[in-house]
Amino acid sequence: MTALLTTNLGELPLLGRGKVRDLYAVGDALLLVATDRISAFDHVLATGIPGKGKILTQISLFWFDLLSDLVPNHLITADVTEYPAALHPYRDQLEGRSMLVKRASMFPIECVARGYLAGSGWKEYQARNSVCGLPLHAGLQDGSLLPEPLFTPATKSQDGAHDENISFAAAEKLVGPADAAELRRLTLTIYARAAAHAESKGLILADTKFEFGRTPEGIILADEVLTPDSSRFWESSAWEPGGPQPSFDKQFVRDYLESIHWNKQAPAPGLPSEVVERTQAKYLEAFRRLTGRELIL
User: What per-residue confidence (pLDDT) applies to 161?
Assistant: 56
User: What per-residue confidence (pLDDT) applies to 48?
Assistant: 96
Is the predicted pLDDT of residue 216 greater than 70, yes or no? yes
User: What per-residue confidence (pLDDT) applies to 296?
Assistant: 87
- Give the C-alpha separation, 171 to 285, whole Å: 35
Strand stretches in the chain, DSSP E: 14-17, 21-26, 29-34, 39-40, 43-44, 75-77, 98-102, 105-106, 109-116, 130-131, 134-135, 145-151, 154-155, 164-165, 203-215, 218-222, 231-235
Report the Cα 6 to chain-centroid distance in Å: 19
Residues ≥6 apart with Cβ < 8 Å to 66: 193, 194, 197
Convert the pLDDT of each residue in 64-112 to its tens digit: 999 999 999 999 999 999 999 999 999 999 999 999 999 999 999 999 9
Is the predicted pLDDT of residue 20 greater than 80, yes or no? yes
User: What per-residue confidence (pLDDT) applies to 158?
Assistant: 60
| pLDDT band with cut points at 50, 70 and 90 for residue 162 | low
Is the predicted pLDDT of residue 61 greater than 60, yes or no? yes
Mean of pLDDT over the chain = 95
| pLDDT band with cut points at 50, 70 and 90 for residue 159 | low
| pLDDT band with cut points at 50, 70 and 90 for residue 209 | very high
Is the predicted pLDDT of residue 282 greater than 90, yes or no? yes
Q: Which domains does the chain have, with CATH numbers?
A: 6-103 (3.30.200.20), 105-238 (3.30.470.20)
- Give the C-alpha separation, 161 to 204, whole Å: 27
User: What per-residue confidence (pLDDT) applies to 133?
Assistant: 87
8-state DSSP, 90: G
Convert the pLDDT of each residue in 236-257 to its tens digit: 999 999 998 988 888 889 899 9
pLDDT over 90 percentage in the chain: 90
Do residues 221 and 67 touch, judged by C-beta distance below 8 A?
Answer: yes
Element (H, E) at 194: helix 177-200
Report the predicted TM-score, pTM, of the whole model to 2 decimal places: 0.95
| pLDDT band with cut points at 50, 70 and 90 for residue 5 | very high
